[in-house]
Every structure is written in structure tokens, then in C-alpha cells.
Amino acid sequence: MSDTIDPGLLAGNRRTLADHVAHHFLWRVDAGVGFVTLNRPERKNPLTFESYAELRDLFLALRHATDVHAVVISGAGDNFCSGGDVHEIIGPLVRLKAPELLMFTRMTGELVKNMRHCPQPVIAAIDGVCAGAGAIIAMASDLRLGTSRSKTAFLFNRVGLAGCDMGACAMLPRIVGQGRASEWLYTGRALPGDEALQWGFFNRVVAPEALEAEARRWAADLVAGPTFANGITKAMLHQEWNMGIDQAIEAEAQAQALCMLTEDFRRAYEAFVVKQRPVFQGN
């Protein structure tokens, strides 16, 4: 048996996504940023069975993407996403039996899992309506940029369902606190942008006409940073939810030691010595 490992075998799953063609939303890669645009503006960008599945698969593929280091997800027109399409999802669901319903809810949950497990920071750029599954996609993102006219609603109880959808009861309290998450999930009310910022759901609120440019700038800053280390940060933010303090400190010690082996760490030191700005390359 050879003592060496062919790097090609280790890189077998790595791929570029610039040429990926999406069928149920818009997708493009520009300067290391992947842009997802939900593109049914005449209906406020609702999701269908097909778009759910395609989003799930895209975020799974992003785990191995070599040309995407941050993702921006937004909606076409003046809205983010109105949730599951009433006619194309809700209507068919009421006619399904339990096994098929469970297949659907597990599939939607896989979208959230894949968003959390891809190494790229995901920025949700939210204008107008952000409701139901749209609010979940925003919640599952790493950073949320809103506008004063955005309205975010976890409205599952308005359609006779529980608020525990796609991880909401686990994730939302960690973002806004248990009491506020409880209010939001029990009432289904829509939070305007300024209140969502006050609650800590939005990181920033900007004017609607500045939303796209601000999201691009934020993503560009992430791409210009140490992208390998950013992926480690995202992984640890997710994994440490299930750790005690001692376990988390040890996990972070191991993760940080790994980052100290990167060329980006050396580049930062050498740039500091000569009083220059480091140019990170993600390795």
C-alpha cells in the first residue's frame, strides 16, 4: 500500500458552480459570490415543491464548490418570499396521507440543514414580504439585511399549523430570545423591518433602493476575507449549539489550531509586519 494519497482523490467532489443552471429560481456566480434570486415576483416569490427541492440540492452542492465563498439570497421585485405557494403546495398537501406529508416536511428540513452545513456565509437580503418558508430561509441564513418596508412573519399558526417548522423552535429562540420567539410563533404577526432589527433578527436595515448594493458589498467583504477560516467559524457557530462550555472550548482550540496551519494566517502576519493589508486566498 502506498504511503501517499493522491490529492485528486480527495478533491474528487470539488466542483465549480458558475455554469450551474437553475430551473426554478435565478442563479449566478460573480467574483466569488453566488446569487440566488427567487423569481416569481407576480406572486411575491412563493416556493413550490420543485423550487424547494432545487434549493435543497444547490445548497448541498455548495459544500464542494470551489468558486463560491459567500451566498446572497433575495427575491425579485419588491418582495423576498411569501412562503409555500397556496395553490401549488398547500392545496396538494391537504390531500396527502401521513407518509407523503412526512416526506415533504423532511425535504423542506433538508433545505435548512444544507444551508447550515454549507461553508459559505449566507446573506438574506429581505425586502417586502418575508413570510412562512421565506421567514425560515431568512432565519437559516447567517446574516440578514432588511428594509424599513420589509414584513417578516412566521405565520404557520395562521394556517392551522404549529410554529415548529423547519427548525424554527430550535433556531429562532437563539436569534431573538425565547420570549420573543414564542410571541412570534404563537401569533404569526408580521414584524416591520425596524422592529425586526430591534429584536436582533435583522443585522442591518437599509433603504430599499440600497438593499442590493449593500448585500453585494457585504458579500464582497466576506469573499475578501479568510474564506477557509470563515467556513470554520460558521461550522463552529452551528455545532456549538449542542455542546457544553468545556466541550466548546476544546472544539474551538482544535479548530483554531487548524486555521493556524493555513497560508492565510501566515499572510496576515507578514502583512502586519510590513504594515500592509493582507490579501487572503482562502488556503
Q: Where are the domains of the chain?
A: 7-224, 227-273
- Packing angle between helix 133-140 and helix 98-117, nearest 10 degrees? 30
User: What residues have CB less than 8 Å from 198, skipping those under 6 apart?
Assistant: none
Amino acid identity of residue 23, one-letter, is H
For the entire predicted model, the pTM comes to 0.92
User: What residues have CB less than 8 Å from 162, skipping those under 6 apart?
Assistant: 156
- The residue ranges of the chain whose pLDDT is under 70 are 1-13
Helix (H) or strand (E) holding 124: strand 122-125
For residues 210 and 154, what is the distance between their CA atoms, to the nearest angstrom?
Answer: 25
Cell numbers found for residue 95: 390531500
Beta bridge partners of 28: 35
pLDDT for the residue 6 = 54
- Fold adopted by 7-224: 2-enoyl-CoA Hydratase; Chain A, domain 1 (3.90.226)
For residues 138 and 134, what is the distance between their CA atoms, to the nearest angstrom?
Answer: 6
* pLDDT, tens only, 5-48: 555 544 556 789 999 999 999 999 999 999 999 999 999 999 99
pLDDT for the residue 8 = 53
pLDDT for the residue 7 = 53
Beta bridge partners of 205: 146
Instruction: Give the burial class of 15: count Cβ atoms within 10 A of its Cβ; 0-12 exposed, 13-18 middle, 19 or more buried.
Output: middle
Instruction: Give the burial class of 142: count Cβ atoms within 10 A of its Cβ; 0-12 exposed, 13-18 middle, 19 or more buried.
Output: buried
Cα–Cα separations (whole angstroms), residue 254 to 44, 240, 247, 267, 283: 45, 13, 11, 21, 17
* pLDDT, tens only, 161-193: 899 999 999 999 999 999 999 999 999 999 999
For residues 278 and 257, what is the distance between their CA atoms, to the nearest angstrom?
Answer: 20
- Whether the CB-CB separation of 80 and 42 falls below 8 Å is answered with no
User: What residues have CB less than 8 Å from 212, skipping those under 6 apart?
Assistant: 74, 125
- Whether the CB-CB separation of 133 and 47 falls below 8 Å is answered with yes
Helix (H) or strand (E) holding 28: strand 26-30
pLDDT for the residue 93 = 85
